[in-house]
Amino acid sequence: MAITMTNESGSTSFFRKWLMRQYWRMQQSQAVVGLLLWGTTITLLVWPYVRWRFESSCSDTLCFNDTLLGVPATYLGLLTIFMTVMLGVLTVGYLYDQVFSLWTEYSSVAMERNPYVTYALTPNWMMITALQAELLRRQSEGDEAMQAQADWFLAWCKQYADGEMFARAVQQWDIDFGPTPTFWFTDDDAMSRARALEFDDGSKE
């Protein structure tokens, strides 16, 4: 049976989702557009210092005041500066990736600073962890060490059932599926606190 995720203010939710989708699309293009704008800006900043070499009045040894295949040297000079900037950016990227491998440290720092990768639990991982711990406890009767570890996992899940993310999940589950049951690793008080928690970002509708 397919379950449709709906919201009481469907039109408002649809508009916000559409708006965020457009914002996401602009973010995806930001890297490319930003690189082109950066290259263009540097090209135009450098150009006044070398422009005289591409003018017809230039008489020094390094002058480029001719045309190539009918294209004025001015355009070729601008293109050369732009491609030099792009090559410099690519060189830095190559050094970042292949020589210094800084992306590995960057990824490590990003993971270390993410609590939901180190010690915290999101609602979906909480449910999976609790289910696995319950199965472990039922299948390891008589093994006190494994029973203790299963209890520890369930206590971990109960601890984060008092968090804001679990409250958001419970409130949305109540809207989508009806009253959320009290899960075996938590209690009625925790479920009540989750339903009573109010958010200041307008997410509780």
pLDDT tens track, the chain, 205 positions: 333 344 455 567 788 888 988 998 998 888 889 999 999 999 999 999 888 888 878 877 788 877 777 778 888 889 999 999 999 999 999 999 999 988 899 899 999 999 999 999 999 999 999 999 999 999 999 999 999 999 999 999 999 999 999 999 999 999 999 999 999 999 999 999 999 998 876 555 4
Identify the pLDDT of residue 74.
84
pLDDT of 124: 95
Report pLDDT for 63. Answer: 83
d(CA 177, CA 8): 13
First to last CA, the chain: 26
Q: What is the DSSP letter of 52?
A: G
Q: What is the pTM for the complete model shown?
A: 0.63
Specify the pLDDT at position 6: 44
Q: What span, in angstroms and rounded, lies between the C-alpha atoms of 50 and 73? A: 12
Q: Half-sphere exposure of residue 23, counting CA atoms within 13 Å on the CB side?
A: 6
CA nearest to 160, candidates 193, 135, 132, 134: 193
β-bridge partners, 71: 68
